[in-house]
Amino acid sequence: MKIVILGAGAVGSVVAKDLAGDGGHEVTVIDANAAALAPLKRVGIKTLKADLSNSKAVRAAVRPADLVVECLPGRFGFASLKTIIEEGKNVVDVSFMPEDFLTLNALAKKNGVTAIADMGVAPGMCNMIVGHELAVMDETTDARIYVGGLPVERTFPFQYKAPFSPVDVIEEYLRPARYRASGQDITEAPLSGSEYIEFPGIGTLEAFLTDGLRSLLDTLPIPTMVEKTMRYPGYAALIRKLRDCGFFGTTPLRVGRATVRPLDFTSRLLLDQWKLLPGEFEFTAMRIEVTGRKGAKHLTKIYDLLHFTDEANDQTSMAQSTGFPCAIAARCLAEGRFRRKGLFPPEILGRDSALFNHFMKELTKRGVHFGTSVKAL
């Protein structure tokens, strides 16, 4: 099968190497950054340099493909996904776009396309897990998601390193955070609702609200759902100060002869401070707690993930834990394991037990393992 991957960043590179690894598919990776393409070219993966910031370029890029994987920055995600569907191509997306991708469902059905969006780790695997537990429990009342990517070595003041572009991270702190409590959908300021979480093998982390539930609010009838980002304690207060002082503003300011958005200026300053340096390691931590009833038993099912930098393959934990689910989903489409037409978030796939178990098995084979436990209530 001819698979075209849009984007050669950290995640796109993981996906490309996974799909090309067994030689079963013809993989082409397209990106505007020649330096990002070079390592893939060196290991024998076909690459193409092209600017994918407009729909005309995306159409040309995907036209030869049997299957497309979109790993572009979020600001390009929705427009590119729409173009891919218009071209009639099956697609797996991991761009984390700010727009509501579910609005493209009708277009995907009309064009006979199978599209899976938000297929990373969070969103992604956390959605699958919640969807799976909803399917196997007789009654599901509560779902809580905690996730974070952090450096092993804590360096002040931020104690944080960004696995992706700082501007993409900051934009998560600007979107209003939505959650559900006792059947009522609520919106609050991001970085609010802080609580402490004890995470095995790591210690105490601080969790705060971000807008990570996304499609779960539209697709799953669970009365209480919340998603929080985890960082080392003190991080949220520091970021709130920067936000409240206007450092994340998007209105251009005149400074001398230059005009600049505060967000762009701040992102540039943080680029070096948040960059993982050679020899620095990070980890991805995630906990999903789903509470409900199975038969006469009331219980909470807990999934814990702790995944560290893969030094041997020079891949970050966040790139792997995001890229591997995306690659597995692409393989599922290529192998015909999922054939429904339309646009689907991961929680819909999770309700299929055979498909869910396949994902968990394949992730474990790749070194991304979810531990599980049950707490009786």
pLDDT digits (tens, 9 = 90+) for 177-236: 999 999 999 999 999 999 999 998 899 999 999 999 999 999 999 999 999 999 999 999
Task: Write the class of the CATH domain 125-308.
Answer: alpha beta
- Predicted confidence (pLDDT) at residue 162 exceeds the cutoff of 90: no
DSSP 290: E
Burial class (CB in 10 A: 0-12, 13-18, 19+), 320: buried
Q: At what angle do helices 317-334 and 353-365 cross, to 10 degrees?
A: 130
Local structure of 41: helix, strand or coil = helix
The SS3 assignment for 164 reads coil
The confidence score (pLDDT) of residue 163 equals 74
pLDDT value of position 166: 82
Q: Which residue has the tokens 């960059």?
A: 275
User: Could you give the count of Cα atoms lying within 13 Å of 203 in the half-sphere of its Cβ?
Assistant: 6
The burial class, CB within 10 Å (0-12 / 13-18 / 19+), for 277 is exposed
Interacting residues of 316 by C-beta distance below 8 A, sequence separation 6+: 10, 149, 163, 276, 282, 309, 310
Indicate the CATH number of 2-121+317-370 among 3.40.50.720, 1.10.287.3510, 3.40.50.300, 3.40.1280.10: 3.40.50.720
Q: In the predicted model, is pLDDT for residue 156 greater than 90?
A: yes
Confidence of residue 237 (pLDDT cuts 50, 70, 90): very high
- Determine if the pTM surpasses 0.85: yes
Domain boundaries, the chain: 2-121+317-370, 125-308
For residues 236-240, average pLDDT: 96
Beta bridge partners of 165: none
Q: For residue 111, count CB atoms less than 10 angstroms from its CB and return exposed for 0-12, middle for 13-18, buried for 19 or more.
A: middle
- Asked whether the predicted pLDDT for residue 165 surpasses 80, the reply is no
Average pLDDT over residues 302-325: 96
Q: Is residue 170 scored above 80 in pLDDT?
A: yes
Q: Is 141 exposed, middle or buried (0-12, 13-18, 19+ CB in 10 A)?
A: middle
Express as a percent the part of the chain with pLDDT over 70: 100
Give exposure, 206-218, as e/b (b: 16+ Cβ within 10 Å).
bbbbbbbbbbbee
Does residue 24 surpass a pLDDT of 90? no
**pLDDT tens track for 288-310:** 999 999 999 999 999 999 999 99
At 174, list the tokens: 């600007």
Confidence of residue 146 (pLDDT cuts 50, 70, 90): very high
Q: Which residues pair with 229 in a beta bridge?
A: 147, 208
The average pLDDT across 365-375 equals 97
Question: Quick one: which of 177, 174, 209 has its CA closest to 191?
Answer: 209
Picking from 70-74, 89-93, 274-278, which range would have the lowest pLDDT averaged per residue? 274-278
User: What does DSSP assign to residue 221?
Assistant: -
Q: Which of 150-164, 222-236, 363-377 has the lowest mean pLDDT?
A: 150-164
Band (23; pLDDT cuts 50, 70, 90): confident
Structure tokens that stand for 224 in this block: 């209480």
Cβ(242)–Cβ(123) below 8 Å = no
